[in-house]
Amino acid sequence: MDAAVTRESIAAVFRIERTRLLASLVRMLGDIDRAEELIQDAFVAALADWPRNSIPDKPGAWLMATAKRRAIDAFRRDRLQAERHAELAHDPDLQPQPGMETLEAVMDDDIGDHRLGLIFTACHPVLPMDARIALTLRLLGGLTTDEIARAFLGKEATTAQRIVRAKRSLAEAGLAFEIPRGRERDERLASVLEVIYLIFNEGYAATAGEDPIRPALCEEALRLGRSLAGLAPEEPEVLGLLALMELQASRLQARVGADGRLLTLPQQDRRRWDRLLIRRGLNALARAEALGGADGPYALQAALAACHARAGRYEDTDWARIASLYDRLRTVLPSPVVELNRAIAHGMAFGPEAGLELLDSLAGLPVLQGYAPLPAARGDCLFRLGRLAEAKAAFRQAAELTRNSAERAFLLNRALACDPD
């Protein structure tokens, strides 16, 4: 196999296997930093071995075995060092702890799937909410600190410090990396749901890079959501989140054209929407509503997505219902982004003047300064009003703010469309 192709394949394996390996190693070792180091060591070994000997049939198992061996070697070195210190000091208190055989047995156990245990631990109350979300996005989603900062509408340096402090706090607390039960599980559920959805959102609309979407992140979030729904089948908000992700994921294949450009809802070929995912999403939403969760924040967002899923054509979209749902959502999930989307919906339901008035009322919010979707939404309303020079300026401003190259190209094309023929 060509060396460049092999390196690309190894990088793909890293993206696919990293989270599973990390979760299993953290559970075994109880040390996040050490687990991350072992994963890096294993992939360095793969880069040296696989181009010569070919990629193994089960690359994830190869990487896990390599990481285990290195972990056991490290424990043996520590044990030998402790024994030597004890011999030198003749101090029985410095004798090595028994149980090396037990450790190796644990390392040889079936690794299973410990990702939910890791996410519940990362969402422990010992951490503040923002730290829980940032850490889990880093560990489970594999996002960079810059990507997490963009998801939070925050600063990269602040996010990096938050992650370091979170790791330190978990290490000092000596927590078990496992799924809690009963009341303790319920107390952590809200932050777990928020984290899973942020991971999905980063995949659905990448904040930076060349690719407008990152399907692997969406798939990881969906897998976590489905696992969580199996763990808590009577929790309406778990089902609401699952419904929301299934419905949004149904549009992934239609969001990007053959030329790599982002396609808006009016431009998408709805025949490419995944009908299986739509059915699964609508069924999960129906279960959430039947359990009394119709006004939960995720169920309401799923109901919004369902409006699009049920419309056979863009022209059939029930914008009045969407605007009404946003009116309800803002009371249970108040946020600048919800207000922005509500303004867009009102602009579609009641005319661009109504939308522009609401958008302009948000312009002074500090958290939306530098947020590309705001000037992009203004540009759309201005374009529909025929105020083309202002629309062009708004689209250009949005293009300057986005960090995603595909989105930037889309916005610049919208700006060009404002020029008279």
Q: What does the pLDDT look like over 346-396, one tens digit per residue?
A: 999 999 999 999 999 999 899 999 999 999 999 999 999 999 999 999 999
Residue after which a domain boundary falls, among 43, 76, 108 = 108
- Pairwise pLDDT comparison (110 vs 68), residue with the higher score: 68
Confidence of residue 190 (pLDDT cuts 50, 70, 90): confident
| Averaged pLDDT, 13-31 | 75
Residues 6+ apart with CB under 8 A from 166: 122, 127, 131, 132, 134, 135
Distance, in Å, from the CA atom of 311 to the CA atom of 257, rounded to the nearest integer, reads: 21
| Averaged pLDDT, 63-83 | 70
**% of the chain at pLDDT higher than 90:** 41
Kindly state whether residue 80 falls inside one of the protein's structural domains: yes
Helix (H) or strand (E) holding 54: none
Both tokens assigned to 251: 């549009």
Residues 6+ apart with CB under 8 A from 159: 134, 145, 146, 148, 149, 152
Name residue 63's beta-bridge partners. Answer: none
| Averaged pLDDT, 148-176 | 83
Cβ atoms 15, 162 nearer than 8 A:
no
Range of the domain at 352: 318-421
- Is 88's pLDDT higher than 80? no
Q: How many structural domains comprise the chain?
A: 2
Mean pLDDT for the chain overall: 83
- Is 94's pLDDT higher than 60? no
pLDDT, position 80: 54
Cβ atoms 250, 242 nearer than 8 A:
no
Kindly state whether residue 236 falls inside one of the protein's structural domains: no
β-strand 403-404 against 208-209: which pairing, if any? parallel
Report the residue count for the chain. 421
Burial-class residue 51 by CB neighbours within 10 Å (0-12, 13-18, 19+): middle
Kindly state whether residue 85 falls inside one of the protein's structural domains: yes
- Pairwise pLDDT comparison (155 vs 102), residue with the higher score: 155
36-45, 152-161, 270-279: range with lowest mean pLDDT: 36-45
- Is 421's pLDDT higher than 90? no
pLDDT, position 95: 43
197-211, 304-318, 323-337: range with lowest mean pLDDT: 197-211
Kindly state whether residue 277 falls inside one of the protein's structural domains: no
Kindly state whether residue 281 falls inside one of the protein's structural domains: no
| Averaged pLDDT, 251-260 | 89
pLDDT, position 26: 74
Kindly state whether residue 101 falls inside one of the protein's structural domains: yes
| Averaged pLDDT, 280-302 | 97
Confidence of residue 79 (pLDDT cuts 50, 70, 90): low
Residue after which a domain boundary falls, among 48, 73, 108 = 108
**What Å distances lie between residue 382 and 194, 294, 385, 387, 418, CA to CA?**
34, 34, 5, 5, 10
- Pairwise pLDDT comparison (293 vs 110), residue with the higher score: 293
- Is 111's pLDDT higher than 50? no
pLDDT, position 109: 39
pTM: predicted TM-score of the whole model, two decimal places: 0.70
Kindly state whether residue 17 falls inside one of the protein's structural domains: yes
- pLDDT one-digit tens code per residue, 176-186: 777 777 777 77
Kindly state whether residue 377 falls inside one of the protein's structural domains: yes
Residue after which a domain boundary falls, among 108, 126, 146 = 108
pLDDT, position 153: 65
Both tokens assigned to 197: 């959805």
Residue closest to 384 by CA, chosen among 347, 359, 419: 347
Identify residue 292 by its one-letter amino acid code: G
The string of DSSP letters for 181-213 reads -HHHHHHHHHHHHHHHHHHHHHHHS-SEES-S-
- Is 344's pLDDT higher than 90? yes
- Is 96's pLDDT higher than 80? no
- Which CATH number does the domain housing residue 373 bear? 1.25.40.10
pLDDT, position 90: 47
pLDDT, position 74: 66
